[in-house]
Each structure stands twice: as structure tokens, then as C-alpha cells.
A and B are shown apart, each in its own frame.
Chain A
Amino acid sequence: MHNLIKDLFLKSFNNPLLSTLDDSAIIDIDGQKIAFTTDTYVVKPLFFPGGDIGKLAVCGTVNDIAVMGARPLWISCALVIEEGLDYEILEKVIASMKRTATAAGIQIVTGDTKVVESGNCDGLFINTSGVGVIEAEPLRCENIAVGDKIIINGGLGEHGIAVLSARSDLGLKSAIKSDCATLNFFIEEILDCSEGIKFMRDPTRGGLATTLNEIVEEKPFGIMLEQQKIPIKNTVKGTCELLGFDPLYLSNEGKVVTVAASEDAARILESMRKHILGKDSEIIGEVTSRHTGKVYIKTLSGGTRIIDMLEGEQLPRIC
């Protein structure tokens, strides 16, 4: 995927707005900066503990705008429906989108519907694009400096495990709910409490490990994490032990990685913890001048290892 983006999309569509590869493009229209993003949602099953494809489609796009430091306002909704999909299912998904959008203070203002033959899509695919406005400077990777702290607003891997356990073929029954949530109000509050926030990104597909690797790629700094500090719920840990998965690579849909100036980190952490979406927040690492372009972790046992980009999907192991 990573190579596809670099070798095909970036090369072909080549322009300065795209090449920053941020979660949203930042466009300046006569002095008013807007954030513009798009994402397509494909999830099996369509309903999982803690959410459904509709909620996911609103949260994901809202969050991609919010992490730029922008205020999301409007999104679109394009549906690809497999012939024969129950009307009730569609109704439920649309109600969930409406509910999520209202809670996030945004409106769904345009849309499209296509129906494809049975077997040509997995029930329902949704694309949402979104627009937001930026009043301050957008949060960009260039702001990051050595010594900055890495903060996460709660337990990792909950969305990944929730979706996995909702698949009947694994026979897993866990109490874990997806963390799927719109983060825009949370992020607004955090940004209001400190000038020291440098960068934010939501660690969705590929998890924290992938997001951090994207941050350090070709940069003159690296990141050192403290495994001890990384919040992961016991049920997520247990499921990962069973399946041989690494929670650092599991997807999240209600988490934001924040890079903040060292002197502000404690204050930011404190305000995060006051919010329901950040009550389990932790400072999990820092930006270092050593091992540039790489992410390392100080393990629970005191050793140190590299955290690499994951190639392909995590696969269940034999023994």
C-alpha cells in the first residue's frame, strides 16, 4: 500500500497539496484555510460491538479533519450497495450515520448511491468526504522537534479486536467494544489548553506502529516508546496473546496520537484525562535525535527493539 501511494498516486497526481500526505489537504481560499479529506469504509461484519460501518464512516472522516487542527463542518455520503441488501440494515446504518453526525456537530450535505450486482461488494461500502475550517495554523509534521513527547488518549487495539471477534469464523467472544468515536470536540478542548501541541494523527489502519513510522519516515529524528506506559486493556492483551497479534499494529477508531512540547506534556495529559475520551491517556514516548527515521521501544523486560512498518496483514499463527 505504502509503495502504491508513493510510486503511483503521488507520482501521477503530483502536487504540493497532496505531497504532504497529511490526513487532510489544507487549501487556502483567499485567506480562509480549509481542510479537505476523503475515505472509503469497508468492514466485515457491517455491525460490530461498539459501532457499525455508518458510525465508522462519519467518525473516520471527522477525525481526519480534526487531527489537522481543523473544525469539521460538512461531509458527503456515497453508498455502494450490494443488490439484495436488507432495507432494514441500510436503515440502521443511515440512522447510525445521522446520530453520529449530530453528536459531532456536522451535517451530511451531499451524497450518491450505486447498486452493484450481488457478489460484487460485501453488502455495503461507504465513502465519505469532509470539509472543515482552520482558524489557527494547521498541525504539521514539520513542527515536531527532538524532546517532544508522544501522548495517546487511551487503550490501543480495541477497534481491531472488536471487529475480529464479531467475525463468527473465529469463534471469539470478547467483551471488547470498538473505540469508534468522533474526536473533534475532544481535540478542540485539548488544542485550547496548550500552544505546545505540534502534531496529531489518528492511528487507524496499521495501528500506532504504522502511524509513528509514517511520522519519522525520512525525518532527522526518531521515536523511543516506553512499552510499560502504553495503555492496552487486558482483554485486548489476552486476545492478542491467543492469536499471536501485536496490539501496536491493531486499528483504532477513537484514538489520537499527539506530539507535544515536553514542557506542556503534563498539562495536556491532565486535560486529556478529564475528558471521557481521554481518561486513560498516557505519555508513551518521546522524539529523539538518535536512530533517525526509526521507531524503537524499550520493552517491558528492559530490552530495546525496533518497531517496523507492518507488511501486509497480521496473520494468525500456528502455535
Chain B
Amino acid sequence: MKYIDEFRDKKFCEKLAMKIRNILDEEREITLMEVCGTHTMAIARYGLKTLLPRNIKFLSGPGCPVCVTSNADIDKAIACCRTENTIITTFGDMIRVPGSSSSLLAEKVNGSDIRVVYSPTDALEIAKANPDKKIIFLGIGFETTVPTIAASIKDAKDNGLRNYYVLSMHKVMPPALKTLVDSEEITIDGFFLPGHVSTITGTGIYEFIPENYGIGCVVTGFEPVDILQATLMLLKQIKNGNPTVENQYTRTVRKEGNPAAKQLLAEIFEPSDAEWRGLGIIQRSGLEIRNRYEIFDVEKNIVLQIEETREHPDCICGKILKGVSEPPDCPLYETVCTPENPVGPCMVSSEGTCSAYHRYTEYRI
């Protein structure tokens, strides 16, 4: 396929891998964090680790929206399923995520009307077709997906739809990155920053990382050539001692981002504190629906019976999300927690670190 195959080209990849080997100091271990779950998936799917020297370590960051959703939020989503006369609409990844005692899938089996949609616009269509039911959209995701959800709320208002509701569990990236670099548990030499989040936000939001913490950053695309090129760019920053924010994903990301999307997001949502799995409550890292759109807010219009949140005592998803531990460090990994019976979200989500580890086990000849 034009414009995709070029970014998966073996010759380009091998050339970049050679340049990486040439620039790399063999003595030193370099830890690079890919913030976004789609990067984790691409690295695994194309076997990129097998192309690179062993002393480059890739850590998966808190950029898989399913994985960072707290148990409390998942329980809230499950409580939505248990309300009368509702149709739940959700992205597919959420279906199998276990909460404290149930999951959307289990609720579906028990008779809840839960439908997987590709976009909140589909949820709007369902709302129009079912005027006597309440349609709840389970809103998760970062700056990438939030504008489309904001658009659906605006559209609902403009069209006088009164049976469409959003459970906002959205999150924004910069406060989580700050929490990570402030943490003393981890040492990170460089960040692959999320390409699609940056398409919306622009690159300015990351400048505090090199300025205040001296860590190099590259906004990175999602194909093998993108990731290898970004690796080379990060290694050059490290070698030259000039950490900065570079943009590798220039075919999509502009410095100023997408002003229209940012404006729409700000019109509908405002910052709120949010709980992240593994990182705890981070101030102003979530998004709640503004008062003037509150008729679309699940939490202000629908009474939910939420069960008491319980965490599996041995699940270390939190540590994995921070990059402190790797999946094999977890006592549950591939014993109790498998893709068939996932305990933690890192195993459920196709972008989760544990799932990527399990499906695409690293292979070295």
C-alpha cells in the first residue's frame, strides 16, 4: 500500500538499525520509553527489538487508554450497564476489561444491551434511532479521541438530542508525563512521544521535559521506519547532550497542533483530577464535561449503583505502566493472568504491555 509500505521497508529499517548500532555506546544501557500503546504494539508486531542491540531497552509508558483506566472507572462503566432502559456504546477494547467483580462482556451475557462502535457518531445514530432509550457512550482515550467525542456532544446539542450521555473517563498526557519524570523509581533516557496525541495538541506541551528534566523527546509515528528513525534521533540527542523536542512525525504533526480540535475540546470539556492506574490521582489530568453541556453528562443525570472497588492484590499493572516492572516480573503473568482470563488491563487491551509481551514474545536468533 502506497504511503504505508515505504514506512515498513526492510532496506530502510536495516539501514537505520545499522546507523543506530554505529552511534550507540556499547557499554551503556539506554532506556527509552514509548509513551503510546500503539508504539508498544508496533515494536512488538514488527519484531523491532530483534533488529536492535540489546543495550537499548524499551519501556512501555502509560499511553494505552484502556490500561490506565482505574478499576473505579471501570466499575462505574459496569454500573452504567446495570441501569434500566439504556444502550451502552463503547470502543471494542473496553469489552473484556475486568472491573472489581464484572466486565462489560459479563454484563452483556447477563442481558445488558452493549454495542461496540467505531466512533461516537455511531452512538449518536443509535440515540436517534432509539428515542425512548438512554444511550450512554463510554468515553475513554486521550487528546486523540476526545475531540471526536466533544463533536458528538456538540452535535447532540445542536440537534436537540436529549437521550445521549457520555461517561467521561478521558485523560490528557502532559500531567502524566510530569508525574513519571518526577518519580524517583525510574530512569528514562528518552521519550518516544505519542504521534497522534501530538497531531491534536502540537509539540509545545512537551517542552518542559527537556528544559526541566534534561530528557530528550521525539514525537514519533507508528510505522517501523518511524520508530527506528526516532530511536536514532533520541540517541543523537543523548550523545550530543542536547535534549530537546524533535518532531519525527512531520507528515502529520504540526508545532501548533490542530487548533480547531483543541478549541472544540476546550468548549465541551474542562480539566479535572483523574485517577490513573499505577500513577494514582493526578491533578488536572482528566476531563469533565462543562456545566453548559451537563445534560449530556452521565454522572449528573443518571443515578449509578457503583460497587466497592477491589484490586487484585498481586496484579502489578500499575508498576508495568510506570515502566518499573516488566510482565514476567508479575506472579500472575501467564499463570493466572492470560489473554483468555485477564486479571489486569495490560493483558486485556491489544495495546497493553502484557498482551504485547504474550502475543509477540521477543525472539532472538
- Residues of A at the B interface (CB closer than 8 Å) are 3, 169-171, 228, 234, 237-238, 241, 243-244, 291, 296-297, 299-306, 308, 311-312, 315-319
Contacts of B49 in A (CB 8 A): 303
Q: Are B95 and A315 in contact (CB under 8 A)?
A: yes
10 pairs, A vs B, C-beta closer than 8 Å: A170-B118, A171-B122, A243-B118, A244-B350, A297-B47, A300-B10, A303-B47, A308-B359, A317-B350, A319-B142
Residues of A within 8 A of B351 (CB): 317
What is the minimal beta-carbon distance from A133 to any residue of chain B, in angstroms? 39
B82 interface contact, C-beta 8 A: no
Q: Which residues of B contact A303 (CB under 8 A)?
A: 13, 46-51, 224
Complex CA–CA separation, A171 to B9 (angstroms): 31
User: When the two chains form the complex, which single residue of B48, B141, B361 contacts A319, counting CB atoms closer than 8 Å?
Assistant: B141
B363 near A318: Cβ-Cβ < 8 Å = no
Listed in ascending order, the chain B residues whose CB lies under 8 Å from chain A are 1, 4-5, 8-10, 13-14, 17, 38, 44-51, 65-66, 91-93, 95-96, 115-118, 122, 140-142, 144-145, 196, 224-225, 338-340, 350-351, 358-361, 363, 365
Whether A311 contacts B340 in the complex (CB less than 8 A), given A301-B9, A316-B91, A317-B92, comes out as yes
User: Nearest A residue to B65 by beta-carbon distance?
Assistant: A318
Determine if A299 and B47 form an interchain contact, defined as CB atoms under 8 angstroms apart: yes
Q: Check B46 against A301 for contact (C-beta < 8 Å).
A: yes
- Residues on the B chain within 8 Å of A301, using CB: 8-10, 13, 46-48, 51, 224-225
* Contact pick for A312, options B1, B13, B140, B340, CB 8 Å: B340
Q: Which 8 pairs from chain A and chain B are nearest by CB?
A: A303-B47, A315-B92, A301-B224, A311-B339, A305-B47, A316-B92, A301-B13, A318-B91
**Cα separation A288 to B4 with both chains bound (whole Å):** 31
Are B363's CB and A296's CB within 8 A? yes
Residues in A whose Cβ lies below 8 Å from that of B65: 318-319
Report yes or no: B363 in contact with A315, Cβ–Cβ below 8 A: no
| B38 x A319 contact (CB < 8 A) | yes
Looking at the assembled complex, report how far the CB atom of A230 sits from the nearest CB atom of chain B, in whole angstroms.
Answer: 13
Chain A residues contacting B140 (CB-CB under 8 Å) are: 318
Chain A residues near B363 (CB, 8 Å)? 291, 296, 304-306
- Kindly provide the distance from the CB of B261 to the nearest chain A CB, expressed in whole angstroms: 13
Q: What separation, in Å, do the CA atoms of A243 and B340 have in the docked complex?
A: 21
> Which residues of B sit under 8 angstroms from A3, Cβ to Cβ?
340
Cross-chain contact A302 with B350 (CB below 8 angstroms):
no
Q: Which residues of A contact B93 (CB under 8 A)?
A: 315-318
- Asked if A305 and B1 make an inter-chain contact with CB atoms under 8 angstroms apart, the answer reads no
Extra pairs beyond A234-B1, A316-B118, A319-B144 (6, CB < 8 Å): A291-B363, A299-B224, A300-B9, A300-B10, A302-B47, A311-B340
* Chain B residue, CB-CB nearest to A290: B365
Distance A243 CA – B96 CA, assembled complex (angstroms): 18
**Known contacts A301-B48, A302-B13, A318-B65; is A238 also within 8 Å of B359 by CB?**
no
Chain A residues with CB under 8 A of B141:
318-319
Among A169, A241, A304, find the residue whose CB has the most chain B CB atoms closer than 10 A: A304
Among A3, A244, A299, A302, residue most surrounded by chain B Cβ atoms (within 10 Å): A302
Residue from B47, B50, B145 within 8 A of A318 (CB atoms): B145
* Cα A243 to Cα B66 with chains together (Å): 17
Most chain A beta-carbon neighbours within 10 Å: one of B5, B10, B116, B339:
B10
Distance in angstroms from A223 CB to nearest chain B CB is 13
Contact at B46–A305, with CB atoms within 8 Å? yes
Check A299/B46 contact, CB under 8 A, given A315-B95, A317-B93, A319-B144: yes
Residues of chain B lying within 8 A (CB to CB) of residue A296:
363
